[in-house]
Amino acid sequence: MPKMRQSINIGLMGLGVVGGGVAKALIEKAEVLARQAGCPLTIRKILVSHPAKRRSIQVEPDLLTTDAGDILADPEVDIVVEVMGGERPALDYIREALISAKHVVTANKEVMAKYGPELQALAQEHQVDIRYEASVGGGIPLIAPFQHDLSANRISAIYAIINGTTNYILSRMAAEGLDFSLILKEAQELGYAEADPANDVEGVDAAYKLAILASLAFHTKVGPEDVYREGITRLAGHDFRYAKELGFAIKLLAIAKESDDEIEVRVHPTFVPEDFILAKVDGVFNAVQVEGDLVGKLLFHGEGAGARPTTSAVVADLIELAHNINSGVGTRAKPRFEPSKTIRPMSEIRTRYYLRMSVADHPGVLAQISKTLGDNLISISSVIQKGTDERAQTAEMVIMTHPAQEQAMQRALREMEGLAVVQEISNFVRVEA
């Protein structure tokens, strides 16, 4: 048996919202965490940009440093906790920590999505672990379930609501029937959306998280560049009203599927049947549904962001590493990469579609549109026509299709745009059912 440590020493990088939460928990819960970990978890240094800044958390001024080297070169630091966010310099610090045989806990989805496999290999090489439960879904256990609890399963699909900002905006749009830009403004005023909201509303954040989950689920390397991505900015109040009429909610879903050794990974607004549990996930909550051959459908639901939930995940990772260190185990979470799998091109996916378009209000229009769809092997499941603008002599037409290939749908859309009777294709949204 290896000797139980007197203390496990932590170098904390970042003292913002998440870092402050982690420091607070380590200080205020020191006694109970020591009991959990088997020995005290001691903060040895905290890397900050501005030591003099006023903070909600009080820490010993001696703990603060502006020099990453004070943590990375300190042989007494066992674990580096990286909660700075962003790609650089976080990536460099993580690499250096691993090379110095320090374990790493990170909440950094961007770094893990882009460099996860490389960093895991580096960790193994140096006989340490990198843990990243906090990088997806805040305090919702997601990384550990894929690494451990679901390891007997062949995962066939993941459907995830993993961006709180967009889910808040979509919930409000559904409730109010208003367009995206109005609700975004409200969300910004309430602090649910950032001044520059692109990372959230364009699906970048969700794509990072999906890349991380898909890599774990399918035991392969999926990077953010592999994820097809479409944001929520084109959605209008109209779309929510039609969705409701048709029995659907609209969610920004992150979808990963595997079939025939090909992987589909995509983030886009999606029509979700109202009786699906994911349709009922509202506001800033996150939810991830996983389908496995043994476990069936499993759903994880909780707060996907914020200081406290993220701290819950970071500290759980710390306690696990403490157990490993005290058991003399260097590296434990060995990623299993299977023979490389192909990412299915977006043009080849099959799904149902919702189309909303502005058309001329006279007989024969539907015949022309359905011929165009039919020529592309797309069949219609239902049609709604309403909202005639008498002055302009136009009507709004909504079409739900049966499953069709994306490539065929894109071609049909171009052809329909060329029809004289079609004034505008106002929106098209993919459907999961």
Provide the minimum distance between the beta carbon of 147 and its own copies in the complex, in angstroms, as a whole number: 10
Residue 309 is which amino acid?
A: P
Provide the minimum distance between the beta carbon of 378 and its own copies in the complex, in angstroms, as a whole number: 34
CB nearer to its own copies: pick between 139 and 203: 139
Contact 307, 20 (CB under 8 A): yes
Provide the minimum distance between the beta carbon of 317 and its own copies in the complex, in angstroms, as a whole number: 9
Print burial letters for 27-50: b (CB count within 10 Å at least 16), e (below 16): eeeeeebbeebbbbbebbbbbbee
Contact 356, 427 (CB under 8 A): yes
Q: Does residue 209 have an active-site annotation? A: yes
Q: What is the DSSP secondary-structure string of 71-130?
A: HHT-TT--EEEE---SSTTHHHHHHHHHHTT-EEEE--HHHHHHHHHHHHHHHHHTT--E
Angle (CA) 136 137 142, round 5°: 75
**Closest by CA position to 47, among listed 62, 66, 60:** 66
Q: What is the DSSP secondary-structure string of 236-282?
A: -HHHHHHHHHHTEEEEEEEEEEEETTEEEEEEEEEEEETTSGGGG--
Enumerate binding residues for its own copies (CB under 8 A). Answer: 21, 25, 29, 32-33, 35-36, 38, 133, 138-141, 144-145, 148-154, 277, 280, 292-303, 306, 308-309, 311-313, 315-316, 319-320, 323, 327-329, 332, 334, 336, 338
Provide the minimum distance between the beta carbon of 40 and its own copies in the complex, in angstroms, as a whole number: 14
Residue 362 is which amino acid?
A: H
Identify the active-site residue in 45, 109, 209, 341: 209
Torsions phi, psi for 89 (to 5 deg) = -85, 10
Across-strand partners of 296?
A: 292
Q: What is the DSSP secondary-structure string of 4-71?
A: PPS-EEEEEE--SHHHHHHHHHHHHTHHHHHHHHSS-EEEEEEE-S-TTS--SS---GGGEES-THHH
Q: Compute the distance between CA of residue 336 and CA of residue 340 in angstroms, rounded to an integer.
A: 11
CB nearer to its own copies: pick between 229 and 251: 251
Q: How far is CA 135 from CA 212, 292, 372, in A?
A: 9, 22, 45
Torsions phi, psi for 248 (to 5 deg) = -130, 155
CB nearer to its own copies: pick between 160 and 227: 160
CB nearer to its own copies: pick between 324 and 351: 324
CB nearer to its own copies: pick between 31 and 390: 31
Provide the minimum distance between the beta carbon of 34 and its own copies in the complex, in angstroms, as a whole number: 11
Provide the minimum distance between the beta carbon of 82 and its own copies in the complex, in angstroms, as a whole number: 18
Provide the minimum distance between the beta carbon of 235 and its own copies in the complex, in angstroms, as a whole number: 24
Question: Among all residues, which ones are annotated catalytic?
Answer: 209
